[in-house]
Amino acid sequence: AQKITQTQPGMFVQEKEAVTLDCTYDTSDQSYGLFWYKQPSSGEMIFLIYQGSYDEQNATEGRYSLNFQKARKSANLVISASQLGDSAMYFCAMRENPGSARQLTFGSGTQLTVLP
């Protein structure tokens, strides 16, 4: 079964607008971590933001915020004031039992295109 589901293969957003990229996850663990990565066309994977399952507040990093809804098992990424450089593939990922260095499980990604 899919542990991380990203239902939007592609998204378009106008420059300077906000965009939400969806991510739902499946785990029976009580303790887990959620991550978002950006992969530009150059191929490198860039870590954006982290949310722990016990964190009471939604994570924020600059223009990135994570809309964490634990009961719905969703961890959507919100990018505010989109820039042309935000055009990239975005991956949601999860680490179960984060009290270890276990591997991340990645979703299939969302290709975001920012329009001028």
Partner 1 sequence: GAGVSQSPSNKVTEKGKDVELRCDPISGHTALYWYRQSLGQGLEFLIYFQGNSAPDKSGLPSDRFSAERTGGSVSTLTIQRTQQEDSAVYLCASSPGTVNYGYTFGSGTRLTVV
Q: Which residue has the tokens 């991956």?
A: 91
Instruction: Look at the chain and count its residues.
Output: 116
- How many helices and strands in the chain, by DSSP H and E? 0, 12
Cβ atoms of 5 and 107 closer than 8 Å: yes
By the rule CB under 8 A, 58 interacts with partner 1: no
By the rule CB under 8 A, 35 interacts with partner 1: yes
Q: Which is nearer to partner 1, 65 or 107 (CB)?
A: 107
By the rule CB under 8 A, 47 interacts with partner 1: yes
With CB under 8 A as the rule, give the number of residues binding partner 1: 23
Encoded tokens for 53: 């399952």
By the rule CB under 8 A, 91 interacts with partner 1: yes
| Nearest 10 degrees: Cα torsion 95, 48, 65, 18 | -130
| Nearest 10 degrees: Cα torsion 104, 9, 68, 94 | -10
Minimum Å distance from CB 75 to partner 1? 14
- In the set 8, 20, 74, 105, which binds partner 1 (CB under 8 A)? 105
- In the set 41, 56, 72, 99, which binds partner 1 (CB under 8 A)? 99
By the rule CB under 8 A, 11 interacts with partner 1: no
Binding site for partner 1 (CB under 8 A): 33, 35, 37, 43-45, 47, 50, 52, 91, 93, 98-109
